[in-house]
């Protein structure tokens, strides 16, 4: 919890701190008295400060929060027939090895699974949930990832092979109508440079380094396919 927006944290059993929005809702100031209505009776307290940490939570519950000393809180719960029980929220700074860390905490403080409640929504995304239903989804997610990856590879490979076949046929026709080896090589180089004229600036401006690498591999692959055409060879000249 952050420092109070105004005033101080309750210093005794007769003081409480309120949400910052309570100042306008109840039209109260520091030092004013406020009454807490409970089934066991009414409790009067003096306002010691206002906090601004709970604005989002207040919007959810459509109300305000009251902060008090532990002894005061236990007294209110006891008078209303509620068992006093401590609850601690733990946030891990390091997200690596959370399962082992949680297991170590349980062992160190002799806690059981009934004493520890995990934030399943967060831990499941980090792959650290111990929930059996969530753990059953991990193999399914991995299988879906592999299937999508393989399908993507086949799709890209099919598109590239189809394009290479078309270009190979085109260069073969050029060769048949009398184009020389040098003319075909020069045409391929100009075509590749024309592609790179657009791809390279985009690769520098945006993180598309992989696309540029794929483009270079495609050009090389096209060159290798051209060398398979009868009477055509690939040469590197300065």
Q: Could you tell me which of 126, 44, 55, 43 has the C-alpha nearest to residue 92?
A: 126
Q: How confident is the model at residue 210 (pLDDT cuts 50, 70, 90)?
A: low
Highest mean pLDDT among 46-50, 78-82, 165-169: 46-50
DSSP 165-177: HHHHHHHHHHHHT
Report which DSSP code applies to 67.
Answer: E
Give residue 231's pLDDT band: very low, low, confident or very high (50, 70, 90).
very low
Q: Tell me if the pTM is above 0.85.
A: no
Strand, helix or coil for residue 4: coil
């Amino acid at each position: 919890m952050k420092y109070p927006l105004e005033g101080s944290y309750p210093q005794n059993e007769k003081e409480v701190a309120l949400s910052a929005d309570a100042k306008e809702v109840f039209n109260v100031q520091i030092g004013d008295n406020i009454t807490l209505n409970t089934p066991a009776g009414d409790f009067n307290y003096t306002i010691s400060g206002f906090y601004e940490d709970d604005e989002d939570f207040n919007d959810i519950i459509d109300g305000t929060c009251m902060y008090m000393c532990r002894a005061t809180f236990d007294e209110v719960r006891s008078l209303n027939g509620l068992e006093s029980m401590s609850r601690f929220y733990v946030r891990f700074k390091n997200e690596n090895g959370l399962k082992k860390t949680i297991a170590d905490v349980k062992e160190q403080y002799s806690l059981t699974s009934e004493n520890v409640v995990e934030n399943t929504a967060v831990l499941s995304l980090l792959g650290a949930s111990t929930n059996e239903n969530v753990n059953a989804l991990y193999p399914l997610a991995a299988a879906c990832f592999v299937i999508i990856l393989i399908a993507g590879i086949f799709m890209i490979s099919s598109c590239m092979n189809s394009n290479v076949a078309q270009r190979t046929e085109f260069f073969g026709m050029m060769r048949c109508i009398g184009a020389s080896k040098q003319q075909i090589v020069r045409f391929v180089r100009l075509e590749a440079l024309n592609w790179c004229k657009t791809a390279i600036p985009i690769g520098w401006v945006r993180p598309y380094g992989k696309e540029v690498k794929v483009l270079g591999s495609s050009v090389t692959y096209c060159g290798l396919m051209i060398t398979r055409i009868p009477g055509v060879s690939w040469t590197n000249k300065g």
